[in-house]
Amino acid sequence: MSGTIQWYPGHMARAERELRERAALVDVVLFLVDARIPRSSSAHPRVEAALAGRPTLLVLAKADLADPQATEQWVRWFARRGRTAVPFSARSSRGVASLVRHIFSAASARGGRPPRVAVVGMPNVGKSTLVNRLVGRRAARVGSLPGVTRGIQWLRGPEGLLVLDTPGILPPRLDDQESARRLALLGLVREERAPREVLADLAFALLRGRYRDRLEARYGPFSPQALESSGTFYRALAERLHFLLPGGEADADRAMRHVLREIREGRFGPMTLEWPEEESGGTEGGGP
């Protein structure tokens, strides 16, 4: 099986086209990224180009699942580059009040009418949750503006705020395969698009490296021999968890599935896969 990850369903192409058509109606853009992988989960260039020239706010979504130290560093990293980044947590609604203030401030040149905000990001990054927080539970479609379609729609929020809700959009090609693997590891693209062994290797490197304390707090200490490679680790873990095949052989594949699921469920605690210290620079468009 190839390790190359590609995924661009037809509804994404349609949503991208509709977003470009309605870009002129937008005052402010909220670019959502996953706080655990801000670079890998950023919007793709065509979307950024379509919305260029408008005030943008970067929303570090799922902040409750990210390492808080890393999130603080990312906020400062973006600030040094002239960008406002606001952490957002669905569990606590953290960041909503700050986002609303930033939205009205950024749209101050709109001529007195309520601001129109586009919420843009990849699938599964938390757009629907943020939209619900912005507009409230009784969100109503707005029929007087273009965009009330199955794929993209205007919703009315408090103080007349208009929110353009968009489906998740991925780049047509995921050329950076390291980013693609991180997206798959965290469930932002379907796991079956990548070989399980590839994702398991990435998970092992993360846990053995920066988060070894979390690994051993979860499963207990491992010998140097067990941590020598991904293969030795998953076999050792399978034996420890009694994941055995008929005949008593360690079921390493089941151990891989177990670790991948636990990472996505946050069982190891808040973790971040991308840190500002790893960045040699940053783009000044919609994504990091």
Phi and psi, residue 150, nearest 5° = -65, -35
Q: How many domains would you assign to the chain?
A: 2
Q: Is there a domain that residue 187 lies in? A: no
**Same domain for 103 and 155?**
yes
**Same domain for 124 and 215?**
no
Q: Is there a domain that residue 1 lies in? A: no
Q: Which pLDDT value is given to residue 173?
A: 53
Whether pLDDT at 148 is above 50: no
- CATH classification of the domain holding 87: 3.40.50.300
Provide the mean pLDDT of the chain. 83
Q: Which pLDDT value is given to residue 91?
A: 77
Q: How confident is the model at residue 144 (pLDDT cuts 50, 70, 90)?
A: very low
Q: Which two tokens stand for residue 166?
A: 């968009």
Candidate from 158-162, 239-243, 245-249, 272-276 with smallest mean pLDDT:
158-162
Instruction: Name residue 157's beta-bridge partners.
Output: none
The answer to the question of whether 62 is labelled as a binding residue is no
Q: Which pLDDT value is given to residue 11?
A: 54
Burial of residue 266 (CB within 10 Å: 0-12, 13-18, 19+) is middle
The answer to the question of whether 129 is labelled as a binding residue is yes
The answer to the question of whether 127 is labelled as a binding residue is yes
**Same domain for 210 and 103?**
no
**Same domain for 18 and 159?**
yes
Q: How far apart are CA 33 and CA 35, in angstroms?
A: 6
Closest CA to 175 of 29, 40, 22: 40
Q: How far apart are CA 140 and CA 213, in angstroms?
A: 47
Q: Is there a domain that residue 185 lies in? A: no
| Rounded percentage of the chain residues whose pLDDT exceeds 90 | 43
Q: What is the pTM of this model?
A: 0.83
Residue corresponding to tokens 């002129």: 24
Radius of gyration over every alpha carbon of the chain, rounded to an integer in angstroms: 21
The answer to the question of whether 71 is labelled as a binding residue is no
Q: Are 256 and 235 in contact (CB under 8 A)?
A: no
**Same domain for 243 and 109?**
no
Q: Are 94 and 129 in contact (CB under 8 A)?
A: no
Instruction: Name residue 28's beta-bridge partners.
Output: 117
The answer to the question of whether 111 is labelled as a binding residue is no
Closest CA to 184 of 287, 66, 40, 288: 40
At 100-118, the pLDDT tens digits run: 888 888 877 666 788 899 8
Q: How confident is the model at residue 43 (pLDDT cuts 50, 70, 90)?
A: low
Q: Which pLDDT value is given to residue 284?
A: 36
Whether pLDDT at 280 is above 60: no
Candidate from 7-11, 85-89, 155-159, 200-204 with smallest mean pLDDT:
7-11
Task: Find the domain containing 101 and state its range.
Answer: 10-165
According to DSSP, the β-strands at 116-121 and 162-165 are: parallel
The answer to the question of whether 198 is labelled as a binding residue is no
The answer to the question of whether 100 is labelled as a binding residue is no
Strand (E) positions, the chain? Answer: 28-34, 56-61, 85-87, 116-121, 140-141, 153-156, 162-165
Closest CA to 128 of 116, 138, 119, 140: 119
According to DSSP, the β-strands at 153-156 and 140-141 are: antiparallel
Q: Which pLDDT value is given to residue 109?
A: 67
Q: How confident is the model at residue 147 (pLDDT cuts 50, 70, 90)?
A: very low
**Same domain for 14 and 66?**
yes
